[in-house]
Structure 1
Amino acid sequence: MSKPESTTPAHFLRQIVQADLDAGKHARIVTRFPPEPNGYLHIGHAKSICLNFGLAGEFGGDCHLRFDDTNPTKEEQEYIDAIKQDVEWLGFEWSGAVRHASDYFEQLHAWAIELIKAGKAYVCELTPEQAREYRGSLTEPGKNSPFRERSVEDNLDQFARMTSGEFADGAKVLRAKIDMAAPNINLRDPIIYRIRHAHHHQTGDTWCVYPSYDFTHGQSDAIEGITHSICTLEFEDHRPLYEWFLDNLPVPCKPRQYEFARLNLNYTVTSKRKLKQLVDEGHVDGWDDPRMSTISAFRRRGYTPAAIREFCERIGVTRSDGVVDMGVLEFCIRDDLDANAPRAMCVLRPLKVVISNYPEGQVENLELPRHPKQDMGVRVLPFSREIYIDRDDFMIDPPKGYKRLEPGGEVRLRGSYVIRADEAITDADGNIVELRCSYDPDTLGKNPEGRKVKGVIHWVPGADSVECEVRLYDRLFKTANPDKGEEGGSFLDNINPESLVVLSGCRAEPSLAQASLDERFQFEREGYFCLDSKDSSAARPVFNRTVTLRDSWGG
């Protein structure tokens, strides 16, 4: 099977797959995405999803979705449901039914017994502290456990009693008998099974012993006929163990593991433990808080699947660790939304404007294009005597270079008339509460010859605008490497206090009353926005800022 014509760069994994197919090593490739359901997926997982599903798609193969659910104390159905939704939202379909490592518990347990019978596994009763001491270090070999030379019969009996629930959690473990002096610590008699009296979300209370991830992973790959088991670089040192199990068990095939560099993105954390801490301690509003680095958060914030796929393709696949700048992701989001998001106007800090010379009771329905370059139709803005502009678009004593309204100055309202600021109405505290302006009826959609207008500002109708809440989201962390907390502190010290600014009483143009959850908009001069999927309603629309119009973190 040959690779379809493509202009996609041939990274090393593409080259490996192509070479295997050309050599006839495989007739059809099978990859897998194997998340642990102990949290929501983050941007690093998006890279793995795009890689595994993408390779299968490019070469006409299959990609399995398999949950490596070997630790019931940390896993939840909520995470499984969220992961499935994320994969589908990114635009991928898994082959066949959703798979679980727990589907193979009977077979894995039988294989563990085979290792015992072959003298290659034993039940150990060292405490965790003792086990660490016996394990040695990177520079010193480990020591054999005093339980290492138990007889096969004793080990079978002990393991059967572990399986029947006779012992407490942590009292005993089943270990592979490999080499306590191995330079690779992962080969120093690793744990195969632990006792856990815990309810499992798939198997219920059937089991009280659960296989380790290292024991489960390779055998699950073999059962499913995986041809290319693609992992991140931290699993490179685990590959000899992966292969040892495959070599010492009667598995139906022997998959090959390949490693690539994980995605490290600045201004974020992608540790599930830290993400869970942010949620549990209330620093954010759940796993899908739009400031989080989870795929669910990106979806809620208005990121698009196409932009994330483009980002993953753009950063490439290598074996060299590095850090990608958040600006690259934001560029991909802007690039996609600039081409595909309809335009609209929303005034975030409304200032009432009364156009004194506009006839009372008159309304003009002005048609503005929904996109300046794409044929997306038009939207209608009613223009009348009262409108709203942004407070920042009028200053009594503006600085040099100011190109908006000032006393006696003129600007054009987007898609409408030129207006002049005649009078500012203030309250008892001197705050401007209203602006009196006049309009030139001869300037609709044109500039009369010789007329100098400083700038163009956005506006919304007074009576027909939609009151809404706008949430200005920014990066959750104020430093590029949030893991480096202040001296003696933690990553929490680096939370950006301005990562969320909530503006109530905003005014949106009437067309936004019909906005749907799957739409994104460019609010002219403000950024890209979408409806919030959790808190927005018809009676109270809530718009999230997806990304600014330009990078505000440069320099």
Structure 2
Amino acid sequence: MTDPVSGAPTSNFIRQIIDTDLKNNKFEGKRWQLPPATLASLQQAPVDTARIRTRFPPEPNGFLHIGHAKSIWLNFGLAQQYGGICHLRFDDTNPEKEEQTYVDAIIDAVHWLGYDWNTDGVSHLFFASDYFEVMYGFAVEMIKAGHAYVDEQSPDEIRETRGTLTSPGTNSPWRDRPVEESLQKFQEMREGKYPNGSLALRAKVDMTSPNINLRDPVIYRIRHAEHHRTGNDWCIYPMYSWAHPIEDALEGITHSICTLEFEDQRPFYDWTLEVLADLGCLARPLPRQFEFARMNLNHVITSKRKLLKLVQDGRVSGWDDPRMPTLAGLRRRGYTPGSLKLFCERTGVSKANSRIDYSVLEQALRDDLDPIAPRAVAILDPLKLVITNWPEDQTQLCTAPRHPHNKEAGQREFMLTRELWIERDDFMETPPKKYFRLFPGNLVRLKYGYIVRCTGCVKDENGQVIEVHAEYLPDTRSGTPGSDSVKVRGNITWVSAQHAIPVEFALYDRLFLDEAPEREEDFLALLNPDSMQTVQGWLEPGVDLHAGPWQFERLGYFAYDDVQSADGSIVINRITTLKDNWAKRTN
């Protein structure tokens, strides 16, 4: 949401709405108190000092994924830019699927992204369950006013009489039951006198509406299930479509921003708020809902059901598997909060659905890390190089910048010895044209070291090259006057075989081969069999394992894996390569 040159916020349709609202003083004199804030309780409350209020309202029934990052960035970012406040609110109205574990994980993820909900010592962390008693009272008022009734049809009957997109619904036989009966039944529902699905409270709107969401939607259902916060205090729970606008109003939200699939629900959102305001339950100005297009990222699924399937079937190691699109997985893989924010900025905010190529996410990571990531050398596919004219017991100190564009970062130090590890593809016995690395007779520079001339190789009984031989040119050390005395076109990385650190590298790639796996029910058939490969390699000595992510020269960006390294081994994840070569690999 900022211009890359000026740093000023870029415009989008939501910002234009907010600008207009503020210009018209829409919220002037609006009062606020810690929720639940009803019309009666706001009479003596102070004027709200926040220019706007937004909210990020996850349901605690799973781990956040990259699509949620867009909503977090948008809601918290808008609040910051406009001198407002963003609430973190858990929509915990479905006790059968919600757990405290998910609450804790969501709080941790939002904090990791760099956002907070505390302002001037006041916490703006809320739960829908905080308002259960208030919402129950609102439902009673709606029944009394003839805006709601208790229906005794089964869920299947309600579904059948609701109609279709092309035919109107049919009134329930209980739609016109006396108010007193609905009040009594609703009280008995709360007291636990009925089994699940036997009764429901429905809003009385319009069964002939072309918008199927206005055909007397259910607003309370019976669920005999223990809630992670309220225990067994309740056995009836409000439906999300009814509870959500009330939660927004009770918290004084000004702009309720959600994804495009809730657009058809907006009329009921507005109807609920207007009815309750007319009944004297809620204060005006009321919240307004605005929708933006959700993030559709190629080669990724974000369906909680399908992600759960991946975990339960053991296709991934867990919710924090580095191939998962969850924030926990991206974080463990090595993605940074800055890279995800940059990705959100670049993909922007619009009303039109579109697909975003995975390479955009990877490039955001590169651009975030390139200016700050310390450099080091790693060898993923090791081949031994022996400098035959180098004394066996001789070591020589070499230096290299920790960051090529930041002299203040200082120098790193490592030893040059007779035996080195190089990448296997840095040698070819019979090279093609324009191959400038090691082959018999060719000269290359050992980066930060000497120029060497390849003299041959050693093979095993199967003809596999197991060792390359070379001789170094003594007067060509990097950083000395003789370094330019011999011109070479090849430059290869290396680590000392004597000093290198043994490391297991986890080479991660896209989890799905197909660009849009979410559209296929048999999505498991689209898994990329090479989404993770592990190799045993070598790392430059002296690398601070906890100072990453790093850029390993010529290879890409990598991060230490705390989870896999818990047993004492060293496991380093590849986050992404230096350049996007997905199309080249898959074509």
Give the TM-score, by structure 2 length. 0.90
* Distance in 1, Cα, partners of 2:7 & 2:578: 32
Unmatched tracts of structure 2, length 5 or more: 1-5, 29-50
Q: Which amino acid aligns with 1:532?
A: D
* Distance in 1, Cα, partners of 2:418 & 2:12: 61
2:10 matches 1:9: yes
* Distance in 1, Cα, partners of 2:329 & 2:262: 27
Aligned residues: 545
* Distance in 1, Cα, partners of 2:484 & 2:7: 53
**What residue in structure 2 maps to residue 530 of structure 1?**
559
- SS of the equivalent of 1:451 reads coil
Alignment of 1:487-506 (within 5 A): 490-504=522-536, 506=537
- Identity in percent: 52
**What residue in structure 1 maps to residue 126 of structure 2?**
99
**What residue in structure 2 maps to residue 378 of structure 1?**
411
**What residue in structure 2 maps to residue 368 of structure 1?**
400
**What residue in structure 2 maps to residue 53 of structure 1?**
76
Pick from 509, 514, 520 the counterpart of residue 540 of structure 2.
509
**What residue in structure 2 maps to residue 390 of structure 1?**
423
Point out the more displaced range, 399-408 or 463-472. 399-408
User: What is the deviation of 1:220?
Assistant: 0.5
Q: Which amino acid aligns with 1:523?
A: F
**What residue in structure 2 maps to residue 281 of structure 1?**
313
* Distance in 1, Cα, partners of 2:390 & 2:7: 59
Contact 1:467–1:540 (Cα < 8 Å) also in 2:
no
Return closer, same or farther for 1:6/1:544 CA change in 2, 3 Å cut-off: closer
User: What is the deviation of 1:352?
Assistant: 1.9
* Distance in 2, Cα, partners of 1:372 & 1:499: 31
Alignment of 1:395-434 (within 5 A): 395-434=428-467
**What residue in structure 1 maps to residue 97 of structure 2?**
74
User: What is the deviation of 1:537?
Assistant: 4.5
Contact 1:403–1:455 (Cα < 8 Å) also in 2:
yes
**What residue in structure 2 maps to residue 544 of structure 1?**
573
Q: Which amino acid aligns with 1:252?
A: A
* Distance in 1, Cα, partners of 2:461 & 2:9: 65
Return closer, same or farther for 1:457/1:113 CA change in 2, 3 Å cut-off: same
Alignment of 1:310-459 (within 5 A): 310-375=342-407, 376-445=409-478, 451-459=486-494
**What residue in structure 2 maps to residue 24 of structure 1?**
25
Return closer, same or farther for 1:303/1:494 CA change in 2, 3 Å cut-off: same
Pick from 174, 193, 213 the counterpart of residue 186 of structure 1.
213
2:512 matches 1:480: no
- SS of the equivalent of 1:157 reads helix
Q: Which amino acid aligns with 2:541?
A: P
Contact 2:476–2:486 (Cα < 8 Å) also in 1:
no
Q: Which amino acid aligns with 1:22?
A: K
User: What is the deviation of 1:471?
Assistant: 0.8
Q: Which amino acid aligns with 1:40?
A: F
Pick from 497, 502, 522 the counterpart of residue 462 of structure 1.
497
Contact 2:298–2:515 (Cα < 8 Å) also in 1:
yes
Contact 1:12–1:318 (Cα < 8 Å) also in 2:
yes
Residues 202-261 of structure 1, C-alpha deviations (whole Å, 9 max, x = no match): 111111111100111011111100011111111111111111111111113411111111
- SS of the equivalent of 1:314 reads helix
Contact 2:439–2:456 (Cα < 8 Å) also in 1:
no
2:149 matches 1:122: yes
Point out the more displaced range, 155-164 or 424-433. 424-433
* Distance in 2, Cα, partners of 1:367 & 1:344: 11
Q: Which runs of 4+ in 1 moved over 4 A?
A: 446-450
User: What is the deviation of 1:426?
Assistant: 2.2
**Alpha carbon RMSD of aligned pairs, Å?**
1.7
**What residue in structure 2 maps to residue 232 of structure 1?**
259
Q: Which amino acid aligns with 1:480?
A: E
2:567 matches 1:519: no
**What residue in structure 1 maps to residue 62 of structure 2?**
39
User: What is the deviation of 1:358?
Assistant: 1.2
User: What is the deviation of 1:449?
Assistant: 5.6
User: What is the deviation of 1:528?
Assistant: 0.5
**What residue in structure 2 maps to residue 151 of structure 1?**
178
- SS of the equivalent of 2:386 reads strand
Contact 2:382–2:424 (Cα < 8 Å) also in 1:
yes
Contact 2:377–2:539 (Cα < 8 Å) also in 1:
yes
- SS of the equivalent of 1:536 reads helix
Q: Which amino acid aligns with 1:398?
A: P
User: What is the deviation of 1:329?
Assistant: 1.5
Contact 1:483–1:490 (Cα < 8 Å) also in 2:
no
Q: Which amino acid aligns with 1:50?
A: W
Give the TM-score, by structure 1 length. 0.95
* Distance in 2, Cα, partners of 1:452 & 1:414: 14
Q: Which amino acid aligns with 1:51?
A: L
* Distance in 2, Cα, partners of 1:32 & 1:537: 37
Unmatched tracts of structure 1, length 5 or more: none
Q: Which amino acid aligns with 1:13?
A: I
* Distance in 1, Cα, partners of 2:411 & 2:369: 18
* Distance in 2, Cα, partners of 1:449 & 1:64: 61
**What residue in structure 1 maps to residue 338 of structure 2?**
306
User: What is the deviation of 1:422?
Assistant: 2.2
User: What is the deviation of 1:421?
Assistant: 2.3
Point out the more displaced range, 275-284 or 429-438. 429-438
* Distance in 1, Cα, partners of 2:322 & 2:558: 12
Contact 2:225–2:232 (Cα < 8 Å) also in 1:
yes
Residues 91-142 of structure 1, C-alpha deviations (whole Å, 9 max, x = no match): 1111424210011011011111111122221122222221111000011000
**What residue in structure 1 maps to residue 229 of structure 2?**
202
